Structure 1
């Protein structure tokens, strides 16, 4: 999870070295050395109601003496203290020697952050996607990298839209649900193009979520973080062409490969639903 994520500590291990924690999007065990405890005064100062959201990848947040505090990427959120012509002053939680959280002042260039939420419009949406494209895949957040649902979650966080962590929940628990089951390939693409809103529509197949960004020559285009494409060589041996990053593709990636394995089908064959997300109080102003 990103630095400065609020957590609820459910339980400590017998030796106090591990904590079972819950966040707004997941739960699990983490080393206690990676957390800091807060009191009511800290919470009061932290929950300001005014926040900054990071809009660039791999940004170092520095203190007033130019020393490193934390690294942040697209979608990470911090309390906003002040804005100048060149930088934003934000609150950063750090642990003191007693593992109590204290607030430090951090600074981030204005080009790397925005006052949350960033206004949703096609230019801003495409800009955030361009920033995230090429970022490596990490299943379940492995090595602090994003998988498909973490990518969509961080993308929409910039615009003040909260999504659950898992792909199926993202499609089923918010927005307008459109059932695509039972449709042919052609019917699916026509439905997505007719009803989908670019950069505001999620496409889902079991285990994978994608962002619909538009269409070209009658083909749906998606932005997603994918692991790879199944292949099969001339001897019938299964393999995989590794992509391992956030990319823009059609719903049939890999079909141009000579060893593409058509027996498992493409995304278009397995897509079951679309979810159209509408930002509250922003859609009309963005038009």
Structure 2
């Protein structure tokens, strides 16, 4: 997720660095207004066809496991919930909560464009009940039973920085998916919210989206084999009136779900033959909040795999394009995802576990980075951009883009982005609203401060 409000932009601009091929000034502007992008470029096949050895494995399972271990061990944004102590000190829990839940210092607006009152904010802060945290907290293990929003505050109140812009809810943080393990460490005053710590994020979620069991039960299911990895954007389980809790349940890309191998293959599951589906084992919550598991069907014609996909350039492109055109959703809101959620979900389908937020990804000590500062010249930055490879992630303040290839030597990216702008032939700046997963060229893109993205690039991450 981005840490800054970003309406992202692109620019028609010629660079003067000698032999740079296919300058942006040569790019055409189609009727869509999206500089340098034709209809043909909106298919993964177009970009896969331009790859050399696209199906060559970039990293094998052992190498990916090493990256995951390094990120989990070194990155402070990650949480090792498997090895928490039986009692957590108040200061640790309070620190997690107050990292997100502090009284806003700036004016906020509701969905109707009206100022959020001080009284409303005070009610939310009171509901957080931070002063009620005991000296010692016993973490309760559990699992998310559905796609569930992670919030910075224990409320569904949507708030925005500007009265006329309701795209970025400042109280929205991230999302958990069915089967994600977690611990709860605090409950709101009204009992409707719990503060949870998951491997990649700590925030508030609806209390009734959590099912509780002991740690052994939770992690036995998390680690169970055989399993399916969801490789589609967001397929649904089969509709079943017999088991509403697992009926048409959304499973986002990269989610790993164990198979239920206890059932006879010639017997119905939830009133339906399983022969054309995979029988999944999904967590459910009973009326008392206890965790159990129930079979659910995922049709075989939905995108899933018996294991994580091989990490290849072709798979990176194919997986990224499954989200093309999806509405931008800050913190996975609007049943979508934001820029960092997008790239992490793509890589998650190949087994790579990345930090959740843009800034954390861009500086993670567990990933391989090339860092850029004010000391790096424009020419050096453009040279680095010209050397980008498919799958590389390019970071600017508050945003990340994924490289998908080159056309006439110009690097192109796919990213979940609010908008773009570029300079037209007469030098004027044209802005185009996107608000979706989009394909754009990289070099022409500009920030709202009239600087190219290349000139404000903070790092390049390469999963190698």
- Using the size of structure 2 for normalisation, the TM-score is 0.52
Q: Residue 282 of structure 1 corresponds to which residue in structure 2?
A: none
Closer, same or farther: CA 11–42 of 1 in aligned 2, 3 Å: same
Q: Residue 52 of structure 1 corresponds to which residue in structure 2?
A: 228
More relative contact order, 1 or 2 (CA 8 Å, 6+ apart): 2
* Total equivalences in the alignment: 266
Over residues 166-214 of structure 1, what are the superposed CA-to-partner deviations in whole Å (9 max), with x where a residue is unaligned?
11211221332112334444532432343x3312x21111111111222
Over residues 112-138 of structure 1, what are the superposed CA-to-partner deviations in whole Å (9 max), with x where a residue is unaligned?
111231112233222211211111101
Q: Distance in 2 between matches of 1:66 and 1:122?
A: 40
> In structure 1, which of residues 274, 277, 280 is the aligned counterpart of residue 463 of structure 2?
277
> In structure 2, which of residues 186, 195, 214 is the aligned counterpart of residue 39 of structure 1?
214
Mapping for residues 202-217 of structure 1, pairs under 5 Å: 202-217=393-408
Mapping for residues 26-175 of structure 1, pairs under 5 Å: 26-40=201-215, 42-43=217-218, 45-50=220-225, 51-62=227-238, 68-81=247-260, 86-110=276-300, 111-173=302-364, 174-175=366-367
Over residues 17-72 of structure 1, what are the superposed CA-to-partner deviations in whole Å (9 max), with x where a residue is unaligned?
21111111222112212211123563254133433221112311137869615112
Residue 196 (structure 2) pairs with residue 21 (structure 1): yes
Q: Distance in 1 between matches of 2:254 and 2:353?
A: 10
Query: The residue matched to 1:269 in structure 2 has which SS?
Result: helix
Query: The residue matched to 1:33 in structure 2 has which SS?
Result: helix
* CA-CA distance at 1:274 after TM superposition: 0.5
Residue 381 (structure 2) pairs with residue 188 (structure 1): yes
The question of whether the paired residues in 1 share the 8 Å contact of 2:238 and 2:297 is answered with yes
Query: The residue matched to 2:311 in structure 1 has which SS?
Result: coil
The question of whether the paired residues in 1 share the 8 Å contact of 2:238 and 2:299 is answered with no
Over residues 216-272 of structure 1, what are the superposed CA-to-partner deviations in whole Å (9 max), with x where a residue is unaligned?
22211111100123689xxxxx996321111111125668xxxxx885223222112
Larger displacement relative to structure 2 (134-143 or 79-88): 79-88
Residue 203 (structure 2) pairs with residue 10 (structure 1): no
Larger displacement relative to structure 2 (262-271 or 40-49): 40-49
**Higher CA-based Rg:** 2
Closer, same or farther: CA 16–265 of 1 in aligned 2, 3 Å: same
Query: The residue matched to 2:383 in structure 1 has which SS?
Result: helix
The question of whether the paired residues in 1 share the 8 Å contact of 2:445 and 2:453 is answered with no
The question of whether the paired residues in 2 share the 8 Å contact of 1:63 and 1:105 is answered with no
Closer, same or farther: CA 184–248 of 1 in aligned 2, 3 Å: farther
Bigger fraction of residues in strand: 1
Q: Residue 284 of structure 1 corresponds to which residue in structure 2?
A: none
Larger displacement relative to structure 2 (137-146 or 153-162): 137-146
Over the residues paired in the alignment, what is the CA RMSD in angstroms?
2.9
The question of whether the paired residues in 2 share the 8 Å contact of 1:251 and 1:266 is answered with no
Query: The residue matched to 2:179 in structure 1 has which SS?
Result: coil
Over residues 55-113 of structure 1, what are the superposed CA-to-partner deviations in whole Å (9 max), with x where a residue is unaligned?
11231113786961511222222123469984322211111111112101122233411
Closer, same or farther: CA 95–240 of 1 in aligned 2, 3 Å: farther
The question of whether the paired residues in 1 share the 8 Å contact of 2:230 and 2:253 is answered with yes
The question of whether the paired residues in 2 share the 8 Å contact of 1:54 and 1:77 is answered with yes
Larger displacement relative to structure 2 (82-91 or 34-43): 82-91
- Using the size of structure 1 for normalisation, the TM-score is 0.81
